[in-house]
Chain A
Amino acid sequence: MLIPTTYNQIPSKQACNNGSKLFGVTMSTMCSSLAQLSHVKFLGHANYIFSRSAYNSNISFYNGGKLGPDGNISKGATESFKLFYKTTQISQWLNLIIAYVPGSTGDGVDFDPVIEIEIKALNDSGSGYSDVGYADYGIRFDKSNSLQLAAQPATNSSAANFIPAQYVDTGIIIPTSAPTNTTPVPPRPLYIPNTVSTYQVRGELVQINVSCEDCKVMSVTVVDIYQAEETP
């Protein structure tokens, strides 16, 4: 069946009164409204903005406000983060949109930015979450997959000269089958299996590991991918 994204008009309650002729469209509209709620409105969503140092090394300045990514990233520098995403019971494929800043060419070196993303299943046995295995071995963004190699160096701190972040995303083309890779592959939507080993994954918390080199991640948005057609 098709899943409508719209908030359609709900039928009049009088159409359901005793003595009224109940037309199919009354029930049909309710069915569509419910599908929109469960499969559109209540799709999972998380939006991580990364707070970064507000110290501007170009002018040795700090006033509590981020002046702009300055591209001051050492060649070979790495970072890794664990982000947490509460899946829904119908989560299956995730779209990620990532904002990042590559190293600045002002350092006179060539950068080779890489961002890898994998998903781990978590289980809380009562004493805190522990990693119970891979839900998806994940994907890898690099220069062959849209990552920009370098940012323009920041020359001063005025508002007009901050470096806009770059964006990459996994896309929404859903693969025909669940992934079987055991190392990161070129970008595709990430997968949430129903279970990992004996542990339930859908409807539970998962850990999204984000690792990067030669660049800094500035935000990560995670969205359950809307699927226009579902089997009832």
Chain B
Amino acid sequence: MSNSYNSTTILADPSSVVASRQVTFETPERMANAINYCFGRGHCSNVLSQAYGDRSFNQDSSSLTEMCEWRIPLASLQHNQLECVVNYRLHGSSTNCNAKFILDVDGTTASTTINLPTTTNGIVNDTISITMPSSNQYYATLTMEVEGDSTTAEVEIYSVMASWKPLTSPLSAGAQYQYDVTEDFYPMGTTRTGVNQSLSSRFGHHMIDNIEIVRQRMRSYLTWSGIYSASSGSSLSVAAASEIYVGVGLIGLFASYPLIPTGFEELQGRKIEAHIRTIGSISFDFFGNRIEITRTAQTVGWTIVTLDVDNATRSERGDVDAPYYLASIEYSDDNAKALVSASPTADGYNNPTTLYPTVDAGNDGNIIGFTLMGV
């Protein structure tokens, strides 16, 4: 079928087209299959992953309360269904507990509300369908609200995950957009690569354009949101003492492994970005970069920072056999002072006296959300 893909036949052998080899149709057929597969399913794995322990993500309020916000990369403007999955339990019993996810792409929003009925370790999921705006976009903002049932039942969240639903085979006919509405991706008609079809100039031009476009697809490497407005009937030593800000305890743990192979530097366009949600301004060290965010004091918002990568200085942790590099908040004196600690008497340390979502001088200069994404 035209524009189809099949994951078992996506590898076209480069050695099948070198000098002295007989021309066969299978190579271009597999190439068409491969580019359709990459556009339809490329990076439809996790765009959001975060887990919670120590009863830190608890909510007992009987109204939907905003608790987290993440930035996530889009797969493309054609991928318009985001699946959200939650692992949770209730302390107490109720049918009135819910989690709501609100997806925002440049002001266009869609949402889903998922009921949380289980008192044991349960899974729930639902899909948000959104009409993508007709403008250039490559990221979305996802907000999570949770409601419990007052003293009757308290929600505890263990993990949250989201991924874009893949485009099914065959891909739709006609030009499609990844992030840029002036840049056409052309799905390849696989029937046009059959044994009795000529290999046209169009095939080569479109294939080169398509490869360049799909190389620009962003991957999500690290997603973290503070949990604000956590609430529990238990004391803070037991529950709802959530991580709201990035603190010194996350140094080293706040890490991921972006793929940075040879040729990365020569790519055109976006490469690797940190999307950082802050209250006011802050400077800190991440992945070999000094990140300096300037924002009006006591205001909250996202800032996009393009990172430079010095491959030679990045050590690897674990063995993954591919050019992944450890990206983390650095062990530095500056970070020890910039991130939240508990040294109220020491000059220059950051010890907030106010808990977000309240914003005032007591919590100015803190990180409440962080996403690392790259091509």
Contact = CB atoms under 8 A, between A and B. Distances in A.
Contact of A67 (B211, B248, B266, B353): B248
Interface residues of A, number: 106
Nearest to B340: A65
B231 interface: no
Given A65-B246, A207-B123, A87 B45 contact: yes
A158 B349 CA distance: 10
A232 B248 contact: no
A85 interface: yes
Interface in B7-37: 7, 10-19, 21, 27-28, 30-31, 34-35, 37
Interface string B316-360: 011111111000000000001101111100100111110110000
A60 B342 CA distance: 11
Given A28-B14, A40-B322, A86-B46, A157 B257 contact: no
A226 B191 CA distance: 31
A202 B166 CA distance: 13
B248 A159 contact: yes
A32 to B, nearest CB: 5
23 contacts: A7-B262, A11-B208, A22-B199, A28-B14, A35-B14, A42-B41, A45-B220, A46-B161, A48-B50, A48-B159, A51-B53, A52-B243, A53-B53, A55-B236, A64-B244, A66-B248, A81-B87, A82-B121, A84-B161, A97-B318, A99-B253, A124-B125, A232-B11
Interface of B: 7, 10-19, 21, 27-28, 30-31, 34-35, 37-38, 41-46, 49-57, 83, 85, 87, 121, 123-125, 158-159, 161, 163, 166, 199, 201, 203-205, 207-209, 211-212, 214-215, 217, 219-224, 226-227, 236-237, 241-257, 259, 261-264, 266-267, 317-324, 336-337, 339-343, 346, 349-353, 355-356, 363, 366, 375
Interface of A: 1, 5-11, 13, 15-18, 22, 24-57, 59-69, 79-90, 95, 97, 99, 122, 124, 128-129, 157-160, 162, 164-165, 167, 169, 171-172, 202-203, 205, 207, 216-221, 223, 225-226, 228, 230-232
Given A9-B263, A169-B318, 9 more contacts: A6-B262, A17-B201, A24-B19, A34-B38, A47-B46, A49-B50, A52-B243, A203-B41, A226-B320
